């Protein structure tokens, strides 16, 4: 009887050992599975982080491009606004120059009491300024709009620069002649009045235009080269 009991006890102890071994194996497998899952998560996270490196750099490049584009657009808008203001101001000056000088010429021509020797010089000055308003200033405005690219050809360039150099000294010399005329009337009234005839005034006006023509003569002599000198760059 005691031997049977001992055998049963041995069997029970053996089963308990097997059960405990099975539990330990299961726990070990669970621990290994958890460790492997953790490793997979870590590898997945690392791969995701590494995969986002290229899109992040692409996003940075796109942001830099958009920033530069916005700056360029702002500069273009600013330059366009400045150009519009310049065009408006220059156009108003051109219109006022034309209208004002036409009024002066018509006033002296139509009103008899304004037909004096001094006013003849003023009419000649008005003609010079009128030519500037009609010919020089419009082409200068177009040159400004086209970013200093001449679009009318080399012959027109030669004519324009020569007339420009002719008319501006003409205006200065007309003012000089008017100043001399006023000074002579004030300081040498009796003597200058007896000498002051229409022929003398016409001679002064012709002298102004001849001197202005001599000033522009070097440009006229260099026709064919002005376009290359001014607009070849």
Tokens encoding 214: 């001599």
Mean pLDDT by 10 residues, the chain (233 residues): 51 53 52 57 55 50 53 58 87 94 94 86 94 93 83 83 89 92 84 77 92 85 62 53
Q: pLDDT at position 91, please?
A: 92
Q: pLDDT at position 104, please?
A: 94
**φ, ψ of residue 46 in degrees (nearest 5):** -65, -40
Q: pLDDT at position 151, please?
A: 83
For the chain, where are the alpha helices, taking DSSP H only?
2-51, 53-110, 117-131, 137-145, 153-187, 189-195, 198-221, 226-231
| CB 196, CB 177: distance < 8 Å | no
């Amino acid at each position: 009887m005691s031997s049977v009991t001992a055998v049963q006890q041995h069997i029970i102890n053996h089963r308990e050992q097997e059960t405990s071994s099975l539990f330990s194996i299961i726990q070990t497998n669970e621990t290994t599975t958890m460790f492997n899952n953790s490793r997979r998560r870590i590898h997945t996270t690392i791969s995701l982080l590494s995969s986002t490196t290229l899109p992040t750099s692409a996003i940075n490049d796109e942001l830099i491009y958009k920033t530069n584009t916005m700056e360029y657009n702002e500069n273009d808008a600013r330059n366009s606004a400045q150009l519009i203001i310049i065009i408006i101001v220059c156009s108003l000056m051109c219109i006022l120059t034309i209208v004002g000088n036409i009024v002066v010429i018509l006033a002296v021509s139509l009103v008899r009491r304004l037909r004096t020797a001094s006013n003849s010089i003023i009419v000649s000055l008005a003609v010079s300024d009128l030519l500037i308003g009609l010919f020089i200033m419009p082409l200068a405005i177009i040159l400004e709009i086209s970013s200093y690219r001449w679009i009318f050809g080399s012959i027109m360039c030669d004519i324009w620069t020569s007339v420009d150099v002719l008319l501006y000294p003409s205006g200065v010399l007309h003012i000089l002649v008017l100043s001399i005329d006023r000074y002579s009337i004030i300081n040498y009234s009796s003597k200058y009045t007896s000498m002051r005839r229409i022929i003398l005034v016409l001679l002064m006006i012709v002298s102004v235009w001849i001197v202005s023509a001599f000033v522009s003569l070097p440009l006229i002599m260099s026709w064919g080269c002005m376009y290359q000198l001014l607009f070849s760059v």
